Amino acid sequence: MANIKSAKKRILVARTKALRNQMKKSEVKTVLKKFNAAVAANDKALASELYTEAVKKVDQAAAHGIFHKNAAAHKKSQLTLALNKLA
């Protein structure tokens, strides 16, 4: 356990940031799961609505440093391919 005041503060800040990152990553996973369920059900209308939400959440996660920008681009590409296959 840390003895120095600044080290104690860093532990608290790191814990808070880790929790925030975990929450944001969980949001993204939930939206992706909903999108994939809509694609599996061949519901083009619902999938296209969820597509925009999913892309937005992935972009936000990348902007906050939760996903690397290339990982975010890869995820968005997968979403686009899945949506286009429904046509």
Read off the pLDDT of residues 12-70 as tens digits, 9 standing for 90 and up.
999 999 999 999 999 999 999 999 999 999 999 999 999 999 999 999 999 999 999 99
CA distance 65 to 86: 31
Q: Which two tokens stand for residue 78?
A: 């997968």
Predicted confidence band of residue 82 (pLDDT cuts 50, 70, 90): very high
Helices (H) and strands (E) in the chain, counts: 3, 0
CATH class belonging to 32-87: mainly alpha
- Kindly state the DSSP code that residue 1 receives in the 8-state scheme: -
Burial class of residue 36 in the structure, from the number of CB atoms within 10 Å of its CB (0-12 exposed, 13-18 middle, 19+ buried): middle
